[in-house]
């Protein structure tokens, strides 16, 4: 039952795509279980850049089964666009499977997402406007339309006949916006349903069978722990569970089927969208990290907010995920700083703490307590062996390991597959 869950341990954009792609090479199956095409994973292979939003990152390998699980918010339009791009680039989509139970994103979800953001004004969340929140709202409200409905024209018609007038009332009466023509929407989505039909199955069964057969299954997290609906910095979160606990539900497997939980941690911190960020650097150092780390969103192109590594936050995310190991990403970006700061505590209203507060008000007031460590000047990008890393870089990592009491199993020093130093094998068997 070799299985690995990959979770972002910060605010997303930790570089999960690269590690997922790296581990996909030795996996039989790659499974997505939450989120949708709000995610953006960039994989660089032989100097070519591939970006995925909804597709699992194993699609570049011809022999892997790629699963879009029941917990995903599924945008058929986005899916078909990505499939086309994949096939145009010479890859096959034949090994992709979509779960029957996944909920479908419709155009009204995207429009409501955007209108709701606008109506919040200063209080906006900064969503990707991909309709994720409104789609999950329908799911929770028990009025959503699932993939199994999408591929059955009769059921689709019935479901849309119920939903479209309701959404139109919301659009027209609450947002004073235009509604949708039910027939136009039906024809368009019926066509999408027929196009995706060949990919649709009960993926919970496929995943179970793979695990029972001892195949290597990689559970691919999107977003990050602090964007978790329950455990993140609410309300500045996404509407799904990007934490380890989200996988059993979103992929339809028992929690006891997960063996390893690898947290993907950037060597510094970034955040997109709004909300408190204690170690944020709104100065030349922040700009330098942003430029060197190419910290601009894959999905939206937005500049990411950048700051020092925050171990208070990581101790919390490590705990709520039950991390068994860390993959430290973008360490090469920190080359060239004379010294580096790591946050080891917060001072909130005069009180020192090492606990990550649930209250955003408190988090907004948190002043980071820093430990300063020496930096290094060498370029790390062509180092292949852990021992060859500068002593200061090793000390930086040792400090993280000791504080979190979790081993750094992988170190990434560049975007390429070959720029990955593996200290401990991730699949235990």
Identify whether the C-beta of residue 252 lies closer than 8 Å to the C-beta of residue 259: no
| HEC assignment per residue over 227-291 | HCCCCCCCCCCCCCCCCCCHHHHHHCCCHHHCCEEEEEEECCEEECCCCCCCCECCCHHHHHHHH
Nearer to ligand IMP, 2 or 221 (CB): 221
- C-alpha to C-alpha distance for 217 and 66, rounded to whole angstroms: 10
Nearer to ligand IMP, 124 or 394 (CB): 124
208 is catalytic: no
Token digits of residue 392:
């200061």
Size of residue set near ligand IMP by CB under 6 A: 20
For residue 32, the minimal CB distance to ligand IMP (Å) is 12
Nearer to ligand IMP, 266 or 409 (CB): 266
User: Which residue in the set 221, 250, 273, 293 belongs to the binding site for ligand IMP (CB under 6 A)?
Assistant: 273
User: Which residue in the set 3, 27, 38, 95 belongs to the binding site for ligand IMP (CB under 6 A)?
Assistant: 38
Tell me which DSSP letter residue 357 carries: P
For residue 391, the minimal CB distance to ligand IMP (Å) is 33
Stretch that binds ligand IMP, among 100-108, 126-134, 243-251, 305-313 (CB under 6 A): 126-134
Nearer to ligand IMP, 127 or 203 (CB): 127
Q: What is the DSSP string of 77-98?
A: HHHHHHHHHHHHTT---TTEEE
Q: Between the CA of residue 278 and those of 14, 113, 248, what are the distances in Å?
A: 17, 28, 32
Beta bridge partners of 49: 44
13 is catalytic: yes
Q: Does 39 bind ligand IMP (CB under 6 A)?
A: yes
- C-alpha to C-alpha distance for 362 and 303, rounded to whole angstroms: 25
- C-alpha to C-alpha distance for 350 and 153, rounded to whole angstroms: 62
For residue 125, the minimal CB distance to ligand IMP (Å) is 5
Nearer to ligand IMP, 137 or 344 (CB): 137
Stretch that binds ligand IMP, among 54-62, 116-124, 130-138, 152-160 (CB under 6 A): 130-138
User: Which residue in the set 107, 126, 322, 407 belongs to the binding site for ligand IMP (CB under 6 A)?
Assistant: 126
- C-alpha to C-alpha distance for 107 and 327, rounded to whole angstroms: 37
Q: Does 13 bind ligand IMP (CB under 6 A)?
A: yes
Catalytic residue (one of 21, 41, 75, 228): 41
User: Which residue in the set 210, 253, 272, 383 belongs to the binding site for ligand IMP (CB under 6 A)?
Assistant: 272
Reply yes or no: is the peptide bond before residue 64 cis, omega within 30 of 0: no
Nearer to ligand IMP, 204 or 238 (CB): 238
For residue 382, the minimal CB distance to ligand IMP (Å) is 29
User: Which residue in the set 4, 6, 12, 70 belongs to the binding site for ligand IMP (CB under 6 A)?
Assistant: 12
Q: Does 130 bind ligand IMP (CB under 6 A)?
A: yes
Q: Tell me, residue by residue from 214 to 253, as one string, x for binding to ligand IMP by CB under 6 A and - for no binding.
A: --------xx---x--------x-xx--------------
Helix (H, G, I), strand (E, B) or coil at 190: helix
Q: Between the CA of residue 187 and those of 84, 290, 303, what are the distances in Å?
A: 21, 44, 38
Give exposure, 253-277, as e/b (b: 16+ Cβ within 10 Å). beeebbbbbbbbbbbbbbbbbebbb
Given the rule CB under 6 A, which residues bind ligand IMP? 12-13, 38-40, 125-128, 130, 132-133, 222-223, 227, 236, 238-239, 272-273
Q: Which residues are catalytic?
A: 13, 41
């Amino acid at each position: 039952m070799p299985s690995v869950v990959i979770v972002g341990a910060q605010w997303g954009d930790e570089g999960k795509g690269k590690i997922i792609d790296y581990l996909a090479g030795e996996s039989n199956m790659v499974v997505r279980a939450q989120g949708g095409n709000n995610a953006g994973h960039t994989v660089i292979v032989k100097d070519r850049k591939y970006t995925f939003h909804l597709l699992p990152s194993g699609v570049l390998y011809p022999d892997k089964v790629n699963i879009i699980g029941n917990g995903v918010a599924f945008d058929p339009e986005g899916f078909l666009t990505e499939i086309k791009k994949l096939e145009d680039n010479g890859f096959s989509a034949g090994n992709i499977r979509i779960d029957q139970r996944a909920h479908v994103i419709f155009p009204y979800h995207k429009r409501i997402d955007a209108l709701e953001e606008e109506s919040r004004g200063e209080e906006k969340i900064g969503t990707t406007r991909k309709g994720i929140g409104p789609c999950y709202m329908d799911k929770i409200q028990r009025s959503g339309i699932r993939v199994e409905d999408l591929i059955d024209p009769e059921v689709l018609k019935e479901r849309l006949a119920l939903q479209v007038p309701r959404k139109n009332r919301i659009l027209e009466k609450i947002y004073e916006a235009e509604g949708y023509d039910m027939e136009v929407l039906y024809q368009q989505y019926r066509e999408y349903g027929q196009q995706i039909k060949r990919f649709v199955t009960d993926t919970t069964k496929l995943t179970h069978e793979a695990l029972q057969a001892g195949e290597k299954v990689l559970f691919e997290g999107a977003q990050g722990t602090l964007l978790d609906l329950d455990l993140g910095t609410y309300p500045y979160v996404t509407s799904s569970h990007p934490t380890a606990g989200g996988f059993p539900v979103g992929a339809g497997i028992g929690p006891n089927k997960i063996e390893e939980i690898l947290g993907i941690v950037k060597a510094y911190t970034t955040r997109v969208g709004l909300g408190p960020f204690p170690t944020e650097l709104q100065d030349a150092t922040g700009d330098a990290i942003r430029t060197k780390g190419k910290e601009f969103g894959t999905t939206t192109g937005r500049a990411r907010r950048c700051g020092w590594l925050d171990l208070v936050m990581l101790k919390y995310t490590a705990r709520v995920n039950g991390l068994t190991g860390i993959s430290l990403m973008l360490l090469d970006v920190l080359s060239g700083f004379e010294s580096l700061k790591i946050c080891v505590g917060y001072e909130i209203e005069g009180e020192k703490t090492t606990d990550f507060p649930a209250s955003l008000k408190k988090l907004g007031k948190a002043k980071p307590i820093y430990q300063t460590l020496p930096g290094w000047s060498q370029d790390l990008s062509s180092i292949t062996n852990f021992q060859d890393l500068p002593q200061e870089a090793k000390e930086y990592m040792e400090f993280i390991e000791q504080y979190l009491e979790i081993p750094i199993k992988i170190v990434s020093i560049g975007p390429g597959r070959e720029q990955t130093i593996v200290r401990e094998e991730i699949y235990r068997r």
